[in-house]
């Protein structure tokens, strides 16, 4: 399939100002609030960040069947999977690397200290209440690794009133099936929420193909997941509450492990190979109103990622990482100014069947931010200093200026710095390749944009430029490269009564300045176009086309992977307030494509789901 005609058609629709939108803005109202961009509550229109919001309603009506599929419909994000469900899923924000985007779950960092990436693909959609995506440098707010941006996932929250919840079930192609349930409510000063689910698929296809260099086994690789989240909050006085939350999700993915023939040393595949990822988080927090205008927030959290490879129940190897974090933030407002100041302490630990030369590091941070809004002028500023036990001091900052041209139109410009610390694998990989002399990667970013929002029309346009120095590359890892990510993105939606047209497009040039080549696995152009139609309160139809341009599988740009377009659609029927049924399908044209060399991708899939709410 040729990508250029598709890109041209999308550009024409964008010029008509009616087709390009981010799916997250299709139902946006001006009174929505975002908190991830600066940790200070903001109206999205007046936020000087490039930010998107995905609500629970957006998730329910989306054609996406997994979190990576949902995020790839969001402007500026590329998601690529090494095989089917539950396998490694990369996330590229504006051309930056996977380990250069911070992923949070309810304010708690999700990542592996050994790889620097987050196994976000194991978080099922049924557990999610809301997602906020911030594109651009954010280290001055969140510290290391926020070069490309931040994705914060909010799990389901308690609501006021008597017990309420839902029970859902689904069944689909490739042996996909699952059930989930959630319940929540409020009793006196206590509010609670509990969600749980399980799902699995028999696979339907092999995770790898013949291009896989370490031995291909043409079997069907399945996946199963068990998950639970919970939250308990107690408001012991007006303006004072304490809360506890927990998450646990366990994903078991079959894949083709590499081995070698003991006589010829030729690569062969190992049967019955499983990689099991166990994610868990626990946090307690206290929110206290100090005065009418000042609030204190304290959070203590522990986050773990345990990974192990098994063959026929026997553990081949395991790698565990643990983050222990304490954070105290004061925030307040006075007339035209909102502010915050805080401190953070973080301890990262690694445990493996093979010892690392160093397995612990500690980071201490102090940060402050000020937002101003006076006479149509908008200002956002933030400053943070991180003191790492390995790398010393790192100071990052951001300054953004905006102006409200009208009640619905805001122009903005910003500049920010960010950094990424090397992972434990890059530093101390036990089997060779680590380099303990590595320096952190550093970036300087600027962007400018316009936001126009009304009740039935939304338009967001951004241009961006990120310069990355001391980029870590090669094996053994070295600080040898520089990279530049330059591009523009546009998102829009237009609503006419029961019909909403939406879409988005990103054009970028993520380039390795050392060899003047495009960074691997990143497309120059990608986007989405779709329509949402609700002819009756009982019926709703949604269709989405995801378009992704050509990429390269090697640094020399000699091995290219073709572009592709994926069609998804869904039909919902709600016979009553309590019951709903949804039929959705992805890759309905059964496009055969490869996003990562050596790995297969999902063909046509159909899913039937039902839900009862009470």
Q: How far is CA 197 from CA 124, 181, 218, 251, 546, in A?
A: 9, 6, 30, 12, 28
Q: What angle do CA 117, 122, 127 make, to 5 degrees?
A: 120
Task: Give the Cα separation of 427 and 74 in Å (integer).
Answer: 33
pLDDT for the residue 547? 97
Backbone angles phi, psi at 74, to 5 degrees: -100, 140
pLDDT for the residue 30? 36
Alpha carbon 466 to its chain's center = 19
Identify the helix (H) or strand (E) that includes residue 139. helix 139-142
Across the range 179-202, mean pLDDT stands at 95
pLDDT for the residue 480? 86
Task: Give the Cα separation of 445 and 484 in Å (integer).
Answer: 10
Task: Give the Cα separation of 562 and 523 in Å (integer).
Answer: 10
List the helix and strand counts (H, then E) for the chain: 5, 34
Task: Give the Cα separation of 362 and 364 in Å (integer).
Answer: 7
pLDDT in tens, 501-556: 999 999 999 999 999 999 999 999 999 999 999 999 999 999 999 999 999 999 99
pLDDT for the residue 171? 97
Q: For the chain, what are the domain ranges?
A: 3-613
Structure token pair of residue 282: 């626990």
Cβ contact 94:508 at 8 Å: yes
pLDDT band per the 50, 70, 90 thresholds, residue 327: very high
Q: How far is CA 614 from CA 167, 184, 229, 292, 426, in A?
A: 9, 11, 19, 37, 50
Task: Give the Cα separation of 154 and 158 in Å (integer).
Answer: 12
Task: Give the Cα separation of 217 and 509 in Å (integer).
Answer: 36
Question: What order do you get walking across the sheet with 101-105 strand by strand?
Answer: 50-55, 128-135, 149-155, 101-105, 108-109
Tell whether the model's pLDDT for residue 257 goes beyond 90.
no
Minimum mean pLDDT among 3-12, 33-42, 231-240: which range?
Answer: 3-12
| Token pair 């990822």: residue | 277
What is the DSSP secondary-structure string of 192-214?
Answer: EEEEEEEEEE--SS-SB-TT-TT
pLDDT for the residue 259? 52
Alpha-carbon dihedral sign for residues 307, 128, 285, 137: positive
Structure token pair of residue 351: 């445990």
pLDDT in tens, 551-586: 999 999 999 999 999 999 999 999 999 999 999 999
pLDDT band per the 50, 70, 90 thresholds, residue 18: very low
Across the range 349-357, mean pLDDT stands at 93
3-state secondary structure of 268: strand
Tell whether the model's pLDDT for residue 4 goes beyond 70.
no
What residues does 143 pair with on adjacent strands? none
578 exposure class (CB count in 10 Å sphere: 0-12, 13-18, 19+): exposed
Q: In terms of residues, how long is the chain?
A: 614
pLDDT in tens, 406-438: 999 999 999 999 999 999 999 999 887 789 999
Class of domain 3-613: mainly beta
Task: Give the Cα separation of 438 and 424 in Å (integer).
Answer: 11
In whole numbers, what is the pLDDT of the chain averaged over residues?
90
Across the range 205-226, mean pLDDT stands at 84
Spell out where 456-553 has E strands: 457-473, 478-496, 499-512, 517-518, 525-536, 539-548, 551-552
Enumerate long-range contacts of 296-302, CB under 8 Å, 24 or more apart.
Answer: 296/328, 296/329, 296/330, 297/327, 297/328, 297/329, 297/330, 297/331, 298/326, 298/327, 298/328, 298/329, 299/107, 299/108, 299/325, 299/326, 299/327, 300/325, 300/326, 300/327, 301/107, 301/108, 301/325, 301/326
pLDDT for the residue 552? 96
DSSP classification of residue 29:
-
How far apart are the two ends of the chain, measured CA to CA in Å? 46
CA-based nearest residue to 1, from 459, 550, 611? 550
Across the range 112-120, mean pLDDT stands at 93
Q: CB atoms < 10 A from the CB of 432, how many?
A: 7
Minimum mean pLDDT among 18-22, 254-258, 323-327, 511-515: which range?
Answer: 18-22
Q: What angle do CA 10, 16, 19 make, to 5 degrees?
A: 55
Minimum mean pLDDT among 367-371, 411-415, 473-477, 514-518: which range?
Answer: 473-477
pLDDT in tens, 274-308: 899 999 999 999 999 999 999 999 999 999 999 99
Alpha carbon 566 to its chain's center = 20
pLDDT band per the 50, 70, 90 thresholds, residue 161: confident
pLDDT in tens, 49-106: 999 999 999 999 999 999 999 999 999 999 998 888 888 899 999 999 999 999 999 9
Task: Give the Cα separation of 54 and 71 in Å (integer).
Answer: 9
Task: Give the Cα separation of 147 and 99 in Å (integer).
Answer: 9
Task: Give the Cα separation of 142 and 103 in Å (integer).
Answer: 10
Minimum mean pLDDT among 311-325, 402-416, 497-511: which range?
Answer: 311-325
| Token pair 């595949």: residue | 269
Tell whether the model's pLDDT for residue 13 goes beyond 80.
no
What is the DSSP secondary-structure string of 109-131?
Answer: E---TTTS---GGGS-GGGEEEE
| Token pair 């500026």: residue | 76
Task: Give the Cα separation of 60 and 172 in Å (integer).
Answer: 17
Q: Which residues contact 477 (CB under 8 A, 6 or more apart)?
A: 422, 426, 427, 433, 434, 435, 438
pLDDT for the residue 76? 97
Task: Give the Cα separation of 106 and 539 in Å (integer).
Answer: 33
Tell whether the model's pLDDT for residue 349 goes beyond 90.
yes
pLDDT for the residue 3? 43
b (16+ CB within 10 A) / e for 479-501: bebebbbbbebbbbbbbeeeebb
Cβ contact 431:415 at 8 Å: no
pLDDT band per the 50, 70, 90 thresholds, residue 271: low
Alpha carbon 450 to its chain's center = 24
């Amino acid at each position: 399939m040729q990508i250029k005609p598709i890109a041209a058609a999308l550009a024409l629709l964008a010029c008509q100002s009616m087709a390009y939108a981010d799916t997250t803005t299709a139902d946006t109202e001006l009174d929505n609030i975002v908190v991830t961009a600066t940790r200070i509550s903001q109206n999205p229109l007046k936020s000087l960040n490039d930010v998107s919001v995905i609500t629970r309603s957006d998730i329910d009506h989306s054609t996406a069947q997994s979190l990576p599929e949902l995020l790839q419909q969001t402007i500026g994000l590329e998601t690529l999977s090494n095989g089917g469900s539950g396998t490694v899923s990369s996330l590229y924000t504006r051309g930056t690397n996977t380990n250069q985007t911070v992923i949070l779950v309810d304010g708690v960092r999700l990542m592996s200290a050994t790889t620097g990436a987050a196994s976000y693909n194991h978080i099922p959609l049924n557990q999610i209440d809301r997602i906020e995506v911030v594109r651009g440098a954010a280290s001055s707010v969140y510290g290391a690794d926020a070069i490309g941006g931040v994705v914060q996932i909010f799990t389901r929250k308690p609501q006021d009133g008597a017990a309420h919840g839902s029970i859902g079930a689904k069944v689909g192609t490739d042996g996909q099936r699952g059930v989930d349930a959630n319940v929540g409510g409020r009793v006196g000063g206590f509010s609670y929420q509990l969600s749980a689910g399980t799902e699995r698929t028999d696979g339907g296809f092999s995770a790898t193909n013949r291009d896989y260099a370490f031995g291909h086994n043409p079997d069907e690789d399945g996946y199963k997941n068990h998950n639970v989240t919970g939250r308990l909050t107690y408001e012991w006085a007006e303006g004072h509450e304490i809360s506890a939350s927990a998450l646990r999700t366990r994903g078991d993915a079959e894949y083709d492990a590499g081995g070698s023939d003991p006589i010829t040393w030729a690569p062969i595949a190992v049967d019955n190979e499983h990689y099991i990822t166990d994610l868990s988080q626990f946090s307690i927090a206290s929110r206290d109103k100090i005065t009418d205008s000042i609030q204190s927030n304290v959070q203590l959290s522990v986050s773990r990622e345990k990974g192990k490879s098994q063959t026929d129940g026997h553990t081949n190897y395991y790698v565990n990482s643990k983050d222990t974090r304490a954070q105290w933030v004061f925030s307040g407002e006075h007339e035209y100014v909102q502010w915050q100041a805080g401190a953070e302490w973080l301890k990262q630990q690694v445990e493996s069947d093979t010892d690392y030369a160093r397995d612990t590091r500690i980071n201490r941070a102090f940060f402050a931010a000020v937002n101003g809004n006076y006479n149509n002028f908008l200002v956002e500023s933030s400053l943070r200093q991180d003191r790492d036990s390995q790398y010393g001091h790192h100071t990052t900052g951001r300054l953004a200026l905006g102006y409200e041209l009208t009640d619905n139109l805001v122009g903005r410009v910003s500049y920010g710095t960010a950094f990424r610390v090397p992972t434990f694998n890059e530093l101390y990989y036990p089997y060779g390749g680590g380099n303990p002399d590595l320096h952190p990667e550093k970036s300087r970013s600027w962007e400018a944009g316009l936001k126009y929002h009304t009740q039935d029309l939304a338009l967001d346009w951004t241009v961006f430029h990120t310069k990355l120095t001391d980029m870590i590359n090669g094996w053994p890892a070295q600080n040898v490269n520089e990279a530049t990510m330059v591009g523009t993105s546009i998102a829009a939606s237009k609503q006419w009564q029961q019909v909403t047209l939406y879409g988005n497009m990103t054009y970028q040039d993520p380039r390795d300045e050392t060899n003047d080549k495009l960074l691997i696995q990143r497309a120059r152009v990608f986007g989405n176009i779709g329509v949402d139609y609700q002819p009756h309160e009982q019926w709703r139809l949604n269709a989405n086309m995801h378009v992704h341009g050509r990429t390269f599988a090697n640094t020399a740009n000699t091995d290219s992977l073709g572009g592709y377009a994926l069609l998804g659609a869904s039909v919902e029927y709600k016979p009553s307030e309590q019951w709903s049924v949804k039929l959705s399908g992805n890759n309905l044209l059964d496009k055969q494509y490869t996003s990562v060399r050596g790995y297969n991708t999902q063909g046509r899939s159909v899913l039937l789901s039902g839900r009862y709410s009470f």
